[in-house]
Structure 1
C-alpha cells in the first residue's frame, strides 16, 4: 500500500482525497501556489510544498514542479484529482518514468480516449453505440459542409480535443454552417491548440447520462451504475444525480454493459466515466443512447455514485494504484436510494454569472443532513485565479422526490457573504415542478433561465424580520434545521408600529415594524449588520440609517456602489471634499476594464470606504455624496 501521497490539485478535491488518505493511514503532501498559501487543503495536509505563482499555468499545470515536490518529500505516488493535469498522458508518463506511482489510468488509455474522433472510432469497433456523425481526416470546409448536409440539420460541431463546453457549436441551418465552423475552430485553437473538429447529429430532447467504471491491473472491470448530468448551463454541469430518473432495468443493463466494453477496449485501470447522450424524446431507450466521450479521471460528481453504492472511490483508486484488485465484484454492487449533488459557485446569477471574489466573511453552508465537499472555511479568500466552485452539496435520500426537496432546502440554507453565490439559483432549480417530476433534458436551464436567475427584492416578511432584529434587544435565537421548503423558523411579534429608515442591500428603504409574524430561513449577525434570508436563500443585508425618511436626505441617496467585483486603482477625493455632478470620484478595475465612478450631483463627500489597491465586492458602498442644500 502507498505510504505517502502527493495530491497535484487544490480546493475541494484535494481536501476530499486527503480525507480518505488519512482514514487509510496514508500521509499526504499538498502543493500550492502563491494564492493558495493559506488554503484549506494546505492546512489539512501533513506537508505542503510551494510550486509557484498564482496563475495555474505557472504552478498547478507545471508537471516538473509537481514531480520535484514528490521527490523532495519522499512521496511515492501522485493523485491528480480532476482538471489540471489529470488527463494529461505526457504528465502521467513522466510520473511513471520518475519511478512514482500514478493514481490514474495508463497513459495509453488516456491517449486513446483523449481525442473525440479517435475515441468514437475505437468505440464503434468495440460495439459501443455511437452518435451518427463524421470523424474523418478531411477537415476542409467543403468536406465538412457536405457531411453536415448529409447528416441533416441541426448538427453539432465539436472540437476533437474539446471539453468543458468549449469548441462546440449547434448549427440549425446550412446557411449558418461556415460561420459556426470558423467560430468553433477559433475557440478550439485558443483553448486546446488543436482546431480539428468532428460532426454529430443533434439529438432531440438530449439527456446527459454517464456510467462510472472501474478497472484494475488484474483484468477486472466493473461499473457502478449511471448518473444523470442533464442540468447544465452552457454545457457545464450544475446538478447531478444517481441513478438516472426514468431508467428501467433493461436499459440500465444495456448502457452499463456498453460502458464496461468501452473500458475494456482501452485496457482501463482506475476510475473513469463513459459519457453518453440520450435521445429522450420517447423516454430512455437503449437504442437511443450513444457514446460521447470518456473522462479518464475521477469526476466532480463522483460523490453521488458513492452515496448510492456505499463505495469510497478514492479508496478504490489508491488500492488499485497499489496493485490490489477491485475490492468488490460486479454482483456485489447495487443501488441503494437516491443521491443528488449541487455545485455551489462564487458567482452572481443575476449579472450573467459573473464570478464573485473576496473574503468569505460569512461561510455557513447548511444545517441539513448533507454531505459537504469544500476547499474553504470562513475567513478564507476566493481568488480570481481558479474555478469559482466553492462547494458541493450532496444529498442522499430514500426516493428521488425526497432528495430533490432536501437539495432545494440545503441550497437555500447556504449562507455566504459578501461573496455572492448561485445558491438561490440551485434552490429554484431543485424546487421546479418539472425537475421534481423528472422531466429534464440539457435545455432545462436555458428554457427557464430568466426566472431562475432573477434577483428579487426582499419579501415583506424578510423586511420585517431584518428591522425587528436590528432594533430589538439582542437575544440568542436557535436556528432550526428545516426539512421542508417552508419550515417553521423564527416568529417575530412586535407590539408597536413605526417607520424606520433602513439600508437594505445598500439602498434606503422605509420599513414598518409590524406585529405580523414572519417565517424565513435564517438570521445572521455580521458586525453591526444583519443578514436575513428569503425562502429561496437570497441573503439581504440590513443596517439602520442614522437619519429619518422624509424631507431630509438619507446617507444612501448619494451612495456610490461598485458595479461588479474589482480593484480600486484610483481615489480622487477625500471625506469632506466638495464635488460637482459628473466629477470623477474613483476608478475601479474589474474584468480587465476600468470603470470611472462619478458624483451623481453637486454635494459633499460624507463617507469614503475605498482605498487605492483595495478589492471590493459588487454593490459595496464605496462612497456617499450628500447633496448641496
Structure 2
C-alpha cells in the first residue's frame, strides 16, 4: 500500500482524499497557492507546500512545481483529484517518469477518450451504442451540411475537443446551419485550439445517465451502477442521484454492461465514468441510450455511488494504484437505498446565478447528512477558483425519502454575507415533478419561475426581524419601541429595513423556522440582512440614471469604449470575469460615455461604479 501521498488539488476534494488517507494511515502532502494558505485542506494535511500565486496557471497547473514538491517532501504517489491536471496524459506520464505512483487513469486511456470523435469510433468497435451522427475526417462546410441533412433536425454541433458546454450549438433548421457552424468553430478554436466538430442527433427529452466503472492492473473491470445527473443548468450538474429514476433491472444490466465494455476497450485502470445520453420521452429503454463520453477520473458526484454501495471509492483508487486487485467482484456489489447530492454554490440565483465573492462570516450546515466542503466559517470565496462551497449528500430508503432529506438539508443551510443557491436547491428538490421523477436536462429551464421566485422576504421573516429589533423593556414607554406608531392597529408594528428595502411588520417570534443571528434572518436556505431604518441614506448610484455598476466582484478583461464615445442601447461597454464566468456590461440606452472608471486588468468589487452613460443620440 502507498505510504505517502501528495494531493495535486485543493478544496473539498483535497479534504475528501485526506480523510480516507488518514484512515489508511497514509501520510498526506497538500500543495496550495498563496491565497489558499489558510484553507482547511492545507491545515488538515500532514505537510503543505506553496507552489505559486493565485491563478491556477501559476500554481495548480504547474506540473514542474508539483513534481518538485513531491520530491522535496518524499511523497510516494500523486492523486490529482478532479479538474486541474486530473485528465492530463502528459502529467500522468511525467509523474511515472519521476518514479512516482500516479493515482489515476493510464495516459493511454486518457488520450483514447480525450477526443470525442476518436472515442466514439473506438466505442463503435467495442459494440457500445453511440448517438447517431457524423464524426468523419472531412470537415468541409459542404460535407458537414450534407451530413446534417442526413442526421436530421434538430441536431447538435459539438466541438471534438469540447467540454463544459463550450463549443456546442443546437440547430433547428438547415437554414441556420452555416452560421451556427461558423460560431461553434470560432468558440472551439478559442477555447480548445481545435475547431473540428462532430454532429449528433438532438435528443428532445434528454436524460444524463452515467455509470461508475473501476479497473485494476490485473485485467478486472467492474461497474458500481449508474447515476442520474439530468438536473443541469448551462450544461453544469446541479443535483445528482443514484440509482437513476425509473430504470428497470434489464435496462440497468444493458447500460452497465456497455460501460464495462467501454472501459475494457481502453484497458482502463482506476476510477472512471462512462456518460450516456438517454431519450427519456418514452421512459428509459436500452435501445434509446447512447454513449456520450468518458471521464477518466473520479467524479464530483462520486459520494452518491459510495452511499448506495457502501464503498469508499478513494480507498479503491489507492489500492488499485498500489497494485492490488479490485476490492470486490461484480457479484458482491449491490444497490442499497437511494442517494442524492446537491452542489451548494456561492452564487446569486436572483441575478442570473452570478458568482458571489467575499468573506464567509457565518456558515452553518444541517446535521445528519454528509457534507463535503472545502471552506470554513471565517474563510473567503475568492474569484480565482470554482465557487462551490460544499456538497450536500443524503441517503434514504426510497427516492422520495432522499428528495425530502435533500430539500430539508438545503433549507437548513445558513451562509452570510456570501449569497448561495441553497434556497434554489431546496425548491428544486421539493418540486412535485422532481419528487415524481419527471426530470430531464430541461427541468430547471422549464421550472425557472418556480425555482427562482421574487426576492420579497416572506412575512415570517419580516416579523422575526421586527421581533429581534424590539429591545427588552426599559420602563420608558417612549424609547422602548423604535418605530412604534401611536395610530398603529392593535398589533404593534415597527418600521425596519429588510434586505435593503423598507418594511413594516409586527414583532412575532418564529422559533424553529426563521433563524435570526447578527442582524441576518435565515429561512429555507435564503438570507436577509435587517436593521432599523437609516435616518440619512447615502447617495447611491442606480442604473436608471445611467450608472453602470459591476454586478459581481471580478476582473475587467476588456474595455470597449472611451470617455466621450457615443454608444447605442445594448452595446457592450466592457467585460467582467470571475470564476471562469464572463459578464458583458451593456449600455442601458442610447447616449454618451461621460465617466469611465474601468481599466483592463483592474479588480472591482460588486456594486462599483465603472462607467456612466448620459442619455442622448448615439
Q: Which of 528, 533, 553 is equivalent to 1:540? A: 528
Deviation of 1:509 after TM superposition, in Å, equals 1.9
* 1:506 corresponding residue in structure 2: 500
- 1:227 matched to 2:227: yes
Q: Tell me the secondary structure at the aligned position of residue 113 of structure 1.
A: helix
Deviation of 1:34 after TM superposition, in Å, equals 1.8
Q: Tell me the secondary structure at the aligned position of residue 540 of structure 1.
A: strand
* 1:434 corresponding residue in structure 2: 433
| Structure 1 contact 78–103 (Cα < 8 Å) conserved | yes
Q: Deviations over 1:392-434 (max 9, x none)?
A: 0001000100111111111111111110011111111101100
Deviation of 1:149 after TM superposition, in Å, equals 0.8
C-alpha distance in structure 1 between counterparts of 2:515 and 2:278, whole Å: 44
Q: Deviations over 1:269-311 (max 9, x none)?
A: 0000000000111100101100000000000000000000000
Deviation of 1:110 after TM superposition, in Å, equals 0.6
Q: Deviations over 1:7-54 (max 9, x none)?
A: 010111111001100110001111111221111111111111111111
- 1:404 matched to 2:398: no
* 1:34 corresponding residue in structure 2: 34
Larger mean CA deviation between 85-94 and 445-454 belongs to: 445-454
Q: Tell me the secondary structure at the aligned position of residue 230 of structure 1.
A: strand
- 1:331 matched to 2:331: yes
* 2:465 corresponding residue in structure 1: 466
| Structure 1 contact 231–240 (Cα < 8 Å) conserved | yes
Q: Tell me the secondary structure at the aligned position of residue 361 of structure 1.
A: strand
C-alpha distance in structure 2 between counterparts of 1:141 and 1:520, whole Å: 63
Larger mean CA deviation between 94-103 and 461-470 belongs to: 461-470
Larger mean CA deviation between 556-565 and 296-305 belongs to: 556-565
| Structure 2 contact 468–516 (Cα < 8 Å) conserved | no
C-alpha distance in structure 2 between counterparts of 1:287 and 1:567, whole Å: 46
Q: Tell me the secondary structure at the aligned position of residue 117 of structure 1.
A: helix
Q: Deviations over 1:346-376 (max 9, x none)?
A: 1111111111100001111223x21000100
Q: Deviations over 1:169-189 (max 9, x none)?
A: 111111111111112112212
C-alpha distance in structure 2 between counterparts of 1:22 and 1:615, whole Å: 41
C-alpha distance in structure 1 between counterparts of 2:554 and 2:92, whole Å: 39
Structure 1 residues 188-587: aligned runs within 5 Å: 188-367=188-367, 369-473=368-472, 497-513=491-507, 518=510, 521-526=513-518, 529=519, 531-534=520-523, 536-545=524-533, 554-556=535-537, 558=539, 564-566=551-553
TM-score normalised to the size of structure 1?
Answer: 0.84
| Structure 2 contact 211–225 (Cα < 8 Å) conserved | yes
* 1:584 corresponding residue in structure 2: none
C-alpha distance in structure 2 between counterparts of 1:384 and 1:566, whole Å: 7
C-alpha distance in structure 2 between counterparts of 1:123 and 1:568, whole Å: 42
Q: Tell me the secondary structure at the aligned position of residue 161 of structure 1.
A: strand
Deviation of 1:614 after TM superposition, in Å, equals 10
| Structure 1 contact 349–454 (Cα < 8 Å) conserved | no
C-alpha distance in structure 2 between counterparts of 1:424 and 1:507, whole Å: 20
| Structure 2 contact 550–605 (Cα < 8 Å) conserved | no
| Structure 1 contact 7–78 (Cα < 8 Å) conserved | yes
Deviation of 1:591 after TM superposition, in Å, equals 4.5
C-alpha distance in structure 2 between counterparts of 1:90 and 1:318, whole Å: 21
Deviation of 1:168 after TM superposition, in Å, equals 1.1
Deviation of 1:500 after TM superposition, in Å, equals 1.9
Cα separation, partners in 2 of 1:594 and 1:154, compared to 1, 3 Å: closer
| Structure 2 contact 304–339 (Cα < 8 Å) conserved | yes
C-alpha distance in structure 2 between counterparts of 1:362 and 1:152, whole Å: 53
Structure 1 residues 86-235: aligned runs within 5 Å: 86-235=86-235
